[in-house]
Amino acid sequence: MNFILLGPPGSGKGTQAKNIVKKFNVSSLSTGEIFRNIKKQNNSIKKLISTGRLVPDRIVIDILFDCFKKNKYFESGFVLDGFPRTISQAKGLNVLLNLKHIKVDVVFFLDVNSNEVIKRILKRMICSCGLSYNIMSYNVGNRYNYCICGKKLKKRDDDKEKVIKERLCIYEKFTKPLIEYYKKFGILVYIDGSRDEMCVFKQINSYVKKRNFY
Ligand SMILES: [Zn+2]
């Protein structure tokens, strides 16, 4: 089964992608993660991301084609998190999938309003070991702001308030039209993403079960 997670920054796409991978044994492809790795070597991409702007469609689609070529996304099924981000990326994805005679089964739209998004992202902290935290829910004694591995937590470059607002503007303008786009294909499923992580996943899970995909 092939999933897409759609939603504003901070709507929990990454978390739900991980839950889906664990439960349904599909491969995951997070373009955000890919770009955060690429930007370590590529200064122009680094600049785009740290100011909240979109990476050009051409580059994103090339990277995606490359990932699909190298990995076994087609056999195991996949979950895409952070892609497509524009209509033209969605069209590029369609071309790629048509070539392989596969289709997207469901697009989960995680709906969270902008105020909640800003609140959530400002609370997000990461560690270089790969763990991430919500600093409001993570306050263990005086080790506040430290990871369980002992290192100090920091903010992601793209998690500063000005950058978040820029990302939200871009989301409204370029990514939100994808809701209508996938509605036309009859595969869009609305999820209230403002609830806690487990509630959201329960709804995703019960939808998949109901459709008898698994
Ligand atoms: Zn750590």
Decide if 124 is catalytic.
yes
Report the separation in Å between the CA atom of 154 and the middle of ligand 1, taken as the mean of its atom positions.
Answer: 10
The structure tokens 């997070």 sit at 30
- 156 among known catalytic residues: yes
Annotated active-site residue in 156, 160, 165, 195: 156
Cα–Cα dist 63/179, whole Å: 23
- Indicate the pTM of the whole model: 0.82
Residue 123 placed within a domain? no
Ligand 1 centre to CA of 133 (Å) is 10
Residue 131 lies in a domain: no
CA of 66 to the centre of ligand 1 (A): 30
Inside any domain, residue 156: no
Q: 74 lies in a domain? A: yes
Distance CA 101, CA 103 (A): 7
Question: What token pair was written down for 123?
Answer: 């609370």
Instruction: Specify if 140 maps to a domain.
Output: no
160 is catalytic: no
Distance 120 CA to ligand 1 centre (A): 20
Distance 138 CA to ligand 1 centre (A): 13
* Per-residue pLDDT at 143: 53
The one-digit pLDDT tens for each residue of the chain (214 residues) are 999 999 998 899 989 999 999 999 998 888 777 777 777 777 777 777 777 777 888 888 888 888 777 766 667 899 999 889 999 999 999 998 898 888 999 999 999 999 999 888 888 888 888 888 876 554 444 456 788 898 988 887 777 788 888 899 999 999 999 999 999 999 999 999 999 899 999 999 999 998 876 5
Does any domain span residue 122? Answer: no
* Residues of the domain holding 73: 3-114+161-210
Give dist(CA 188, CA 213) in Å, integer. 16
* CATH number of the domain residue 26 falls in: 3.40.50.300
Active site residue 85: yes
β-strands 132-134, 124-126 pairing: antiparallel
Q: Is 167 a catalytic residue?
A: yes
Choose, from 46, 91, 123, 124, the residue flagged as catalytic.
Answer: 124
Q: How far is the CA of 188 from the centre of ligand 1 (A)?
A: 36
Helices vs. strands in the chain: H and E counts, helices first: 10, 7
What is the structure's pLDDT at 140?
46
Q: How far is CA 66 from CA 61, 141, 205, in A?
A: 8, 45, 30
Domain contains 174: yes
Angle, alpha carbons 134-63-11 (nearest 5°): 25
- Domain tally for the chain? 1
CA angle 68, 175, 201 (to 5 degrees): 70
Give the helix ranges, DSSP H, for the chain: 13-24, 31-38, 43-50, 57-70, 73-76, 87-99, 114-122, 161-170, 177-184, 197-210
Main-chain phi, psi angles of 194, to 5 degrees: -80, -10
Residue 62 covered by a domain? yes
